[in-house]
Amino acid sequence: MLHLRLITPADRTDEVVRMIDRTVGTTHLVVLPGAAREPEGDVVMCDVAREAGDELINRLRALDLESCGAITAENIDLSLSERADRAERDAPGEAADAVLWEQLEEATHEESTLSITYVAFITLATMIAACGVVLDNAILIVGAMAVGPEFGPLAGICTAIVQKAPRLALRSLIALLVGFAVAMAVTVGFSLFMDAAGLFSKARLDAERPNTGFVYAPDWFSFVVAILAGAAGTLSLTSAKSGALVGVAISVTTVPAAANAAVALFYGDAHQAWRSTEQLLLNLVAIILAGTLTLLLQKALWATQRRRMVKPT
């Protein structure tokens, strides 16, 4: 269940209340006349089944509440109410399958913003992966994959394509490209330091690496795995099951490929640098493709449920 808190101008409160009453899956309606001070207006609160939440929020936005009032939604962790149980039963579909597009856009906006923290995480992940490829240490590679925050901008691009949000697309693309560029540049400098300290060497990079050689060996399996991971990651975001994102992060070769390219570039190994770049680009494209198709499919499936969101009069 979701809890909605609305601030509505007094002259629109009755219309908002009627809209909530007519929406399947709503309950616990509360109206507090004149309770809001900034902005001034009435406060309307209700609980709504997650699967009906997106449609109700869209209808409320059509009333322009976001400019003259406010729409706030939050997840309810516990609700002991027979009415809430009935509302969930009445709402079409399953809560785990529902997509809250506004919530998804907000989440991807935060995760796809170029910030010092984002750059720090992707840079640290790339340096960890650089140690992993030189040492042929699969544990370090997995750790670097888990630390890397690149799925946020990738999900932002997918969401922007489906929702036709060019600003989100541009913001996500900038975060993705600048993040990897900075991370790889810093990793080149890191390789210089590690080489001077005697910890990195070209001989180690060129040696047989049975555990990490895959990072510069793009093939159809890499593409297939990235497709599957992109779909799984997108489902994880839309269903609020964020635990699956860790598995997605360690399934794709993005950060390790960028790290191998940076180390190979430092040692002048054009072959490994190019093949690693191919691996990186292949994974990025596959994830965006899978994520976009997954969102389009979810949007199409839920479009068939919309006519069941309104109570019969």
**pLDDT at residue 305 is higher than 70:** no
**3 state DSSP class of 76:** coil
> Does position 225 have pLDDT exceeding 70, yes or no?
yes
Question: Quick one: average pLDDT of 39-60?
Answer: 90
Q: In this structure, what token pair is assigned to residue 103?
A: 């919530």
Q: Is pLDDT above 70 for 304?
A: no
How many angstroms separate the Cα of 241 from the Cα of each of 15, 63, 233, 289?
34, 31, 9, 21
- Residue 215: what pLDDT? 92
Task: Give per-residue pLDDT as tens, 79-92.
Answer: 889 998 898 888 87
Q: Which fold has domain 2-97?
A: Alpha-Beta Plaits (3.30.70)
What is the arithmetic mean of pLDDT over 235-252?
66
| Rounded mean pLDDT, 18-45 | 93
Per the CB < 8 A criterion, the answer to whether 215 and 133 are in contact is: yes
What average pLDDT does range 190-215 have in this prediction?
A: 93
> Mean pLDDT over all residues of the chain?
88
Q: What gap in Å lies between CA 51 and CA 103, rounded to an integer?
A: 13
- Can you give the pLDDT at residue 116? 94
Per-residue pLDDT tens digits for 112-166 = 889 999 999 999 999 999 999 999 999 999 999 888 889 889 989 999 999 888 9
Confidence of residue 245 (pLDDT cuts 50, 70, 90): low
| pTM, two decimal places | 0.82
What percentage of the chain has pLDDT greater than the value 70?
A: 91
